[in-house]
Amino acid sequence: MAVSSAPGKVYLFGEHAVVYGEPAVPCAIEVRARVGVEKRADSKLRIHAEDLSLDGFTVEYGGTADGPPDVDVQESLLDAAMGYVDSAIEQVRDVTGEDQVGFDVTIESDIPLGAGLGSSAAVAVAAIDAGTRELGTTLETDELAERAYQTEYEVQGGQASRADTFCSATGGAVRVEGDDCRSLDAPDLPIVVGFDGGAGDTGKLVAGVRSLREEYEFAADTVESIGDIVRNGEQALAADDIEEIGRLMDFNHGLLSALGVSSRSLDSMVWAARNAGAHGAKLTGAGGGGCIVALDPTDETETALSYTPGCEDTFRAELAETGVERLE
């Protein structure tokens, strides 16, 4: 069996706008998905999922032609455990030329689903890396990131960006603008994450921004303004100016809220962090529920979030200097 892990991520700036060619800056954090892949003697795919925010499950099936398995779990978990793994395994088969090979796939994850921390990207990266290595092929990081992007692109109906998968594959802070992906130097950021226990519907939220952008010119201008924030944020990162990074994060959250992708719980956590003295705070990911990211070197933001109604968990997150890790 080959086992790989890949980190989740938070967005400092640029989610949603990155879909329209604007730059974005996510950074990998040390919460990880681990995927083990073992070749089978037949062509079936068996998925065993653990710790994906809900009770785990095991399902075995012969492929999409059999239809979805009849298991009593939420649709989002089923999509995560099957849709992304199905597509990732197709990438493995394409890379290796072994079209009929089957696998036992085990997923263990510390990353809550749909919460803006890049769970699907981490699973895709780790699954492709472990699957190809199980068949004797080791991919370079750039190809691994591209294959994982193709996985998300297929599952998300063409609405994915390269940001999440590139960040998960390479680790650290990265800049993504269209097809241009590169690593960035970043200071030691005092990252605090707040989680409301929920999950946003990424497809619906992305579609909502698209509709606004098509209907109102000022909504399109808002998306472009997020791109301007990212470009200023790059300068602040290069200067190790954490206070300026925080101010720009505040601006970014305000524009995302104007585009309709925040929520009452996310806004409550953002304001709790700011009132506690955080340098800045914003939602991270698609929005609609899930996580916020704040910058605070003290314990004040964690304490404030722990007493904020609607916040189910809060934790400090270290920057993940490495992306995919090969464990076995």
How many CA atoms lie less than 13 Å away from 32 in the CB half-sphere?
21
Average pLDDT of the chain, as a whole number: 89
| Residues 194/115, Cβ–Cβ less than 8 Å | no
**Residue 60: predicted pLDDT:** 53
Q: Would residue 164 show up in a list of annotated catalytic residues for this protein? A: yes
> What are the residue ranges spanned by the domains of the chain?
2-184, 191-317
Q: Which homologous superfamily does the CATH classification assign to the domain defined by 191-317?
A: GHMP kinase, C-terminal domain (3.30.70.890)
**Residue 200: predicted pLDDT:** 80
**pLDDT beneath 70: ranges in the chain:** 50-81, 159
**Helix (H), strand (E) at residue 273:** helix 264-275
**Residue 211: predicted pLDDT:** 95
Single-letter amino acid, residue 125: V
pTM to 2 decimal places: 0.86
pLDDT digits (tens, 9 = 90+) for 253-308: 999 999 999 999 999 999 999 999 999 999 999 899 999 999 999 999 999 999 99
Architecture of domain 2-184: 2-Layer Sandwich (3.30)
- 2-184 and 191-317 agree in CATH topology: no
Catalytic residue selected from 104, 164, 196, 296: 164
**Residue 111: predicted pLDDT:** 87
